[in-house]
Structure 1
């Protein structure tokens, strides 16, 4: 028997969440590195560049936190360790 909650939100697997976390971490690192490289070439200070980049990094960090919370909810035995 399927509840309406099951049809509204498809179930994701631990592997899918783990893969998303990995991809977001890679994206965050690449975004930071490429932005800093471009800023260096444009002779923009690292401080100014990071100030402009911070809102986007905060969004990525929030998404990562949410994914990690979902992963912890799916794997409570590993979260307790």
Structure 2
């Protein structure tokens, strides 16, 4: 299973492509929690704080897969390979 720790330990952002490969275009907070190895409460906190992008319709949050991936890529601390 892919976890956030495994993705963040990679030396480049190609791991994000693998992490998100089979995910639906629209994800629930539960989907995000499972994908990243977090609790739903942690994901809801991140959504409320704006740490990760999301949309609230009524009482339901949803996350656009590609927006979450872009946010994670932008926040990566991985250093580019120098060849």
TM-score, length of structure 1 as denominator length:
0.27
TM-score, normalised with respect to structure 2:
0.26
Bigger strand fraction = 2
User: Larger Cα Rg: Structure 1 or Structure 2?
Assistant: 1
Q: Which has the higher helix share?
A: 1
